[in-house]
A and B are shown apart, each in its own frame.
Chain A
Amino acid sequence: MNKKLPFRFFTTHPRVVILEWDRKPDNTLLNQLIDFQKHILRRFKEVTQITQGYASLMLFHNTEVHHIADYSKKLYLIFESLPTKAVKKGRLWQIPVCYDNSFALDLKALALKLNLSPEALVELHTSASYQVYFIGFLPGFLYLGGLPKVLEHPRKIKPSPHVPQGSVGIGGKQTGIYPFDSPGGWYVIGKTPYPLFEPQKKKPCFAQTGDSIQFVPISKSEFMELDRQKKNGSLKLKPS
């Protein structure tokens, strides 16, 4: 009796169920959430799509959800039978980023605030490996975990009205790439020439939840060359 349930279960809409974990997101939870989604989609045909947050899932159904108590019990049982160790690691993507001042609009300012040299900041940013926790905010925007603690810094007080597509930024405990031109409050420290979201493709986004990302520094001339290839439509990331 009184056994603690593994997650909280909400029906906030007749066809939507939200599951939430009272845990700090980490790689163990991430891998469990990925496994769990596969099991749910296989087992319950009425679940048409699942979206993910750091410690939550949203299940979309094609019919109204009934017998809530029974449904939640089934989900608890499936979750608790999952292995807690990661079975399969995602792919690794090495993303070329140019940290040149012409793109890294806020690199100097952020380095100053963090009490680092710009070179040390770039060195730290490129030496870490980041997990794709989920995709959200904008099409193809990867929520990445794994930013070194020394690089954490609150977002800008005044967001920039225009952050160019491909910009790599740091905000709070997060780092990420802007898939489209958009307003944004992160410190921009570099730019990738690679397209992040291509709606015309069958697989519009190269990465998926559970993959890993590394940033590889490139020079401005390398960036220009890759950017030329992008304009020809021949630029495509390959997993390592």
Chain B
Amino acid sequence: MIEVIHPGLYSSIQDSGRFGQQFLGVPISGAMDQIAMHWANSLLNNPKDSAVLEMCFRGPKLLFHQSTAIALAGAHMNATLNGVKVQNLNAIEIKENDILEFGNASKGTRTYMAVAGGIQSPEILGSRSQFKGITTDSRLNKFKLIPFAKVSFVPKKGARLSIPKLDLKNLKITVYKGPDYDLLPFEAQNQLTKSVFTISPKNSRMAYFLEQKLIHEIPSLWTTPVLPGTVQCTPDGTLMILMRDAQTTGGYPRVLQVSDEGLNLLAQKSTRDSFQFHLRAV
């Protein structure tokens, strides 16, 4: 078990998501940055979608009741093991009663911690991803115990994953046309594909609202299915990018659809970060 001494700002257990229950209104959920989750798992020889801990902005303080191995990927969170700095992207040996403490995120927004054998919280409707109304807790809480599998994994000394460096400053998010894109006036299409957008403080696992507005006159629709990555535009022009915990249906015009890679990149962005959409044919 891992004991949560302090939960951090917003930490939750996530995997590849609860796919297949959307016809009942259940969000897909899952790790916001699926690639970082895969990296963390692969360092421990876990199946790539084993449940991991997702930590946002400021990470938790954790006490390990048993020995195991962990790996971190995604944003840098100044993690220390019993007070000694540990690095992302390598396997880290953990002994009984070790304390792992995270600080504030830099070079990204979300950090992922994989545990050898995977986190073993109860699987509900095919996933361990925490979500309000589905799992007992909607996120990590103080004093909770996180179960993990008991596997013998001895990290190789010096083994490290090298990954391409991300240019988070000049980020281009690959998108496809949404069903309502062609209804937009030329100026609005131009704005979407040419100008810079900024993420507003209203951003969460459900949706990112953007600062810039889009002038359009598309009426609201009969409610239609949506999915993570769908970019909706409200009547007053507010753009919102639906993220992993998004509801399954929506009534606003759908102007763009963010690619899978784009969603993983956006997971590492937050308030005041800016980016451009890069429109591509499907």
Contacts and interface: CB of A to CB of B under 8 A. Distances in A.
Interface in B87-120: none
A137 interface: yes
A48 interface: yes
Given A137-B249, A180-B132, 14 more contacts: A13-B257, A13-B259, A13-B282, A18-B224, A25-B222, A51-B248, A55-B224, A56-B224, A56-B225, A57-B225, A138-B25, A138-B133, A139-B134, A204-B21
A16 interface: yes
B257 A12 contact: yes
B133 A197 contact: yes
A12 B225 contact: no
A42 to B, nearest CB: 16
A138 B224 contact: no
Contacts of A10: 177, 179
Contact of A51 (B22, B132, B133, B178): B22
Interface of B: 19-27, 124-125, 132-135, 176-179, 222-225, 227, 229-230, 247-249, 254, 257, 259, 282
Decide if the interface of chain B is mainly helix, strand, loop or mixed: loop
Interface of A: 8, 10-14, 16, 18, 20, 25, 48-58, 60, 65, 134-141, 143, 179-180, 197, 199-200, 204-205, 209
A37 B226 CA distance: 17
Contacts of B227: 13, 16, 58
Which of A13, A14, A135, A200 has the most chain B CB atoms closer than 10 A to its own CB? A13
A134 B176 contact: no
B23 A135 contact: yes
B124 to A, nearest CB: 5
A74 B249 CA distance: 26
Contact of B248 (A14, A54, A137, A179): A137
A64 B222 CA distance: 28
B224 A200 contact: no
B282 A11 contact: yes
Given A137-B25, A139-B134, A205-B24, A20 B179 contact: yes
A219 B259 CA distance: 52
Contacts of A54: 222-224
- 10 closest pairs, A vs B, by CB? A136-B249, A58-B225, A53-B224, A54-B222, A51-B225, A12-B257, A56-B224, A180-B133, A10-B179, A135-B25
B280 to A, nearest CB: 10
Contact of B125 (A51, A179, A204): A204
Nearest to A133: B223
B282 A199 contact: no
Given A13-B176, A180-B132, A53 B223 contact: yes
Nearest to A200: B124
Contacts of A52: 23, 225
Given A12-B282, A13-B282, A20-B224, A139 B26 contact: yes
A199 B23 contact: no
9 contacts: A12-B176, A12-B177, A52-B225, A58-B224, A60-B22, A136-B223, A139-B21, A199-B133, A205-B24
Contacts of A16: 227, 257
A53 B225 contact: yes
A51 B224 CA distance: 9
A180 B132 CA distance: 9
B111 to A, nearest CB: 27
Contacts of A18: 179, 224-225
Contact of A12 (B19, B20, B248, B254): B254
A20 B178 CA distance: 13
Contacts of A179: 25, 133
A221 B122 CA distance: 37
A138 B225 contact: no
A50 B24 contact: no
B225 A139 contact: no
Contacts of B224: 18, 20, 53-56, 58
B250 to A, nearest CB: 8
Contacts of A8: 179
A136 B161 CA distance: 41
A230 B105 CA distance: 44
A139 B133 contact: yes
B20 to A, nearest CB: 6
B179 A199 contact: no
A209 B22 CA distance: 13
Nearest to A68: B282
A90 B125 CA distance: 24
Contacts of B21: 139, 204
A8 B282 CA distance: 16
A135 B225 contact: no
